[in-house]
Structure 1
Amino acid sequence: MTTTPTIGLELPAAAIAGVGSRPFGVYVHVPFCATRCGYCDFNTYTAGELGTSASPASWLEGLRRELDLAAETLGSAPAVDTVFVGGGTPSLLGATGLADVLDAVRGAFGLAADAEVTTESNPESTSQTFFAGIRDVGYTRLSLGMQSAAQHVLAVLDRTHTPGRAVAAVGEAKAAGFEHVNLDLIYGTPGERPQDLDASLDAVLSAGVDHVSAYALIVEDGTALARKVRRGELPMPDDDVFAQRYERIDAVLSAAGLEWYEVSNWAANDAARCRHNLGYWDGGDWWGAGPGAHSHVGGVRWWNVKHPARYADSLATGTLPVGGVEQLTDEESHMERVMLTTRLRSGLPLDVLDADERRAAEVVVADGLLTQVDDTFVLTDRGRLLADGVIRSILS
């Protein structure tokens, strides 16, 4: 038995019946950016790229319709545990626009009393007034894109903010009442020196945030960065440099009291961890609203059409803007669980693995990349550097 297909999506009754027994979040994708960063391959658009085909107003109207249809599709869906507004650059909507986004989520589903509500922000499009405005309407957590404190590194990434702006923004956010603030770092950018990374880490620590995400630079096909690498204008990032940078980041953050809880994420305490992302990693349910957003409910995964104009046009007809759907097989669900939980400090439960996989994991333990902690396998410090290889070894 499935839901009626009149709104463009069929979900098995068993998948819907389980909603509420797992964490349930809403991700909202804001596809707008003032400029395009050279390394970014996210589904984003500048005003010049969109022209008159779409606007924040048409996107917001589509978002409201999608969330209402989402609630209708899921039936007696629970109040939302977590909301994450990402992009793109959500802060371009201003405090009023982000209030409208949260009102749309609240109106369609309702929010749990202790809901975590996060928005990403570009430091250059924020202010004391902005932070106060979104705090007043219910946002509880911020993620600011710092990337680096070195101007020449920001220039390679085509980031437009000034090096000190991210730290200043953290101070403004704290003054507005935000207890939980994340800073994003990117490491391994061509031209980044060890002292540049140290300057970035010094800035992070001086800001006093309770969460840090740090990601190795990936050269994505089709980006301006990839074209520069292909033409020989920039070198391809080096894996050995990535490893050195990661070890430095982990050492400095750990010494400052921020402990890793996922390979690329550090937090000062349990309350500082991103519950929304933990929902992804722990196999929860989430509805991804907005152009190109991905969703998962009860082993069914789907994604929206990418262009904001197509997105809005579909919803104007009362049809969910679904671009594709897949039902995960038991094998695929198992592989995803191993892939995601291995990356967590809480570890990979032994009882998730079959006999062959457990034997493979024991070989990895002997190689010093995993350690057994009670009834889980946990990545060692060296294992975190080779996490993808560890996962392949277990699943091979």
Structure 2
Amino acid sequence: MSPALPEGDAAPDDGRLPPSAFEGVSDRTFGVYLHVPFCTVRCGYCDFNTYTATELGGGASQNAYADTALKEIALAAQVLPPRAVQTVFVGGGTPTVLSVPDLSRMLAGVRDAWGFADDIEVTTEANPDSVTPQSLQALADAGFTRVSFGMQSAVPHVLATLERTHDPRRIPDVVRWARDAGLAVSLDLIYGTPGESVDDWRTSVETALDTGVDHVSAYALVVEAGTRMAVQVRRGELELPDGDDQATKYELADDLFESAGLHWYEVSNWSRTPQTACRHNLAYWRGDDWWGIGPGAHSHVGGVRWWNVKHPRAYADRLDRGLSPAAGRETVTGESAVLERLMLGVRLSTGLPLDVLPAGARRGVAGLIADGLVDGSAALGRDAAVPRLVLTRRGRLLADAVVRSLAG
């Protein structure tokens, strides 16, 4: 079960945005997110807005999805004037369950609508068992520059608990195939799966690093209500690890990544150089602009956020009738905007300039330094011209607590 859509104001049927959304537009980057809401199998921990063939129901077609998405792209082009797209990210679901020609047509639709920056980053997510050397080369030929593989673990029993279907021995192959095609590669890992030992986690991290990739994401498993795994936990069939276990695994991964030359740039992301960081995700954390295409996709332009109807059938129906698929929207201003900037910006290794914090929050920084959660040198401006709030590694483990402290 995917999470419920947030509450908000009614969105106009034509998708137009208020004039305030276009103020300062030249100071923000612009990206496009393309959501592909299909998977061959739903993993037990997954609560994303995705559907298998049996879940999809009548009135929605995977084969027709690219044409439906192109209708929203056309609507978006009427709302937003020409503006070079710096990044495109195709996520899901499993985007590569669609054919390369369909993915290519969607990408071409974005290019035709706004135009691409010369150094555009175009990423697709993929399962290791959903690609071949030929399909990866075709993606590169279509304009994709980067692929993010859902590796999750290198240990068979951990993958089985997560209900992942790929063979972990395939990981070095798919990384090599992608690189041979000229694609940059990222690997996604999950730690904290029930039954995963510290040695299991070490095996997964070392296996990822042995491929020589320049980017790794590592996320703590969160078991969401309504998923099969949540039911298994409630019944006592699976036992979740405690917070100390997850902290140990995070610290182990950070040590191994650093030793291999990958440095954290966001709490859950490590990159070999600033150039190999995921620019699309950085735009999210920096509060830049993006349009999310697809059912359940979220968008943000100039402080205006909106979200689409969730089911592919409802999404297709609205677009077939010439209506925006947006289900609701909100404008983030005032204290909410400050809190959001704090919540997102504090996760970055570059941190936040102290002068963007409210006065009360700035007074609390000294206590966070004393507690070992915030880097004292950065806060005092010793490492840069502008004093900044930068988390220590302990602070990364307690990032939510840091935000609560500053926001309180």
Structure-2-length-normalised TM-score? 0.93
Q: Which moved more, 1:274-283 or 1:367-376?
A: 367-376
Does the residue aligned with 1:11 lie in a helix, a strand or coil? coil
1:227-261 deviations in whole A, cap 9, x for unaligned? 00000000123111100000000000000000000
Shift of 1:317: 1.1
Q: Which amino acid aligns with 2:72?
A: E
Whole-angstrom distance in 2 between the partners of 1:329 and 1:48: 42
- In structure 2, the CA distance between the partners of 1:311 and 1:273, relative to structure 1 (3 Å rule), is same
Does the residue aligned with 1:335 lie in a helix, a strand or coil? helix
Whole-angstrom distance in 2 between the partners of 1:363 and 1:104: 51
1:12 maps to 2:18: yes
Match of 1:227 in 2: 231
Match of 2:144 in 1: 139
Equivalences, count: 390
Match of 1:99 among 100, 104, 110: 104
1:66 maps to 2:72: yes
Shift of 1:85: 0.3
Match of 2:350 in 1: 346
Shift of 1:164: 1.4
Match of 2:93 in 1: 88
Runs of 4+ in 1 over 4 A off after TM superposition: none
Does the residue aligned with 1:41 lie in a helix, a strand or coil? coil
5 Å matches for 1:151-166?
A: 151-166=156-171
Match of 1:208 in 2: 212
Q: Identity of counterpart residues, as a percentage?
A: 55
5 Å matches for 1:256-295?
A: 256-295=260-299
Whole-angstrom distance in 2 between the partners of 1:163 and 1:365: 42
Q: Which amino acid aligns with 1:101?
A: M
Whole-angstrom distance in 2 between the partners of 1:292 and 1:9: 15
Match of 1:384 in 2: 396
5 Å matches for 1:322-361?
A: 322-361=326-365
Match of 1:298 among 286, 296, 302: 302
Structure-1-length-normalised TM-score? 0.96
Whole-angstrom distance in 2 between the partners of 1:79 and 1:65: 20
1:238 maps to 2:238: no
1:43-72 deviations in whole A, cap 9, x for unaligned? 000011113321123321221110111111
Shift of 1:7: 4.3
- In structure 2, the CA distance between the partners of 1:340 and 1:6, relative to structure 1 (3 Å rule), is closer
* 2:37–2:51 contact (8 Å) kept in structure 1: yes
* 2:82–2:113 contact (8 Å) kept in structure 1: no
Whole-angstrom distance in 2 between the partners of 1:383 and 1:148: 26
Match of 1:42 among 30, 34, 48: 48
Shift of 1:6: 7.0
Q: Which amino acid aligns with 1:22?
A: R
- In structure 2, the CA distance between the partners of 1:18 and 1:68, relative to structure 1 (3 Å rule), is farther
Long gaps (5+) in structure 2 = 1-10, 382-386
Q: Which moved more, 1:146-155 or 1:321-330?
A: 321-330
Match of 1:193 in 2: 197
Whole-angstrom distance in 1 between the partners of 2:20 and 2:391: 34
Shift of 1:337: 0.4
Does the residue aligned with 1:56 lie in a helix, a strand or coil? coil
* 1:63–1:104 contact (8 Å) kept in structure 2: no
Whole-angstrom distance in 2 between the partners of 1:219 and 1:104: 36
1:169-214 deviations in whole A, cap 9, x for unaligned? 1011011111x21100000101101121111112111111100000
1:25 maps to 2:31: yes
* 1:29–1:85 contact (8 Å) kept in structure 2: yes
Q: Which amino acid aligns with 2:294?
A: G
Shift of 1:8: 3.0
1:75-96 deviations in whole A, cap 9, x for unaligned? x231111000000000111322
Q: Which moved more, 1:304-313 or 1:11-20?
A: 11-20
Q: Which amino acid aligns with 2:245?
A: V
1:335-356 deviations in whole A, cap 9, x for unaligned? 0101111110001211111221
Whole-angstrom distance in 2 between the partners of 1:331 and 1:64: 36
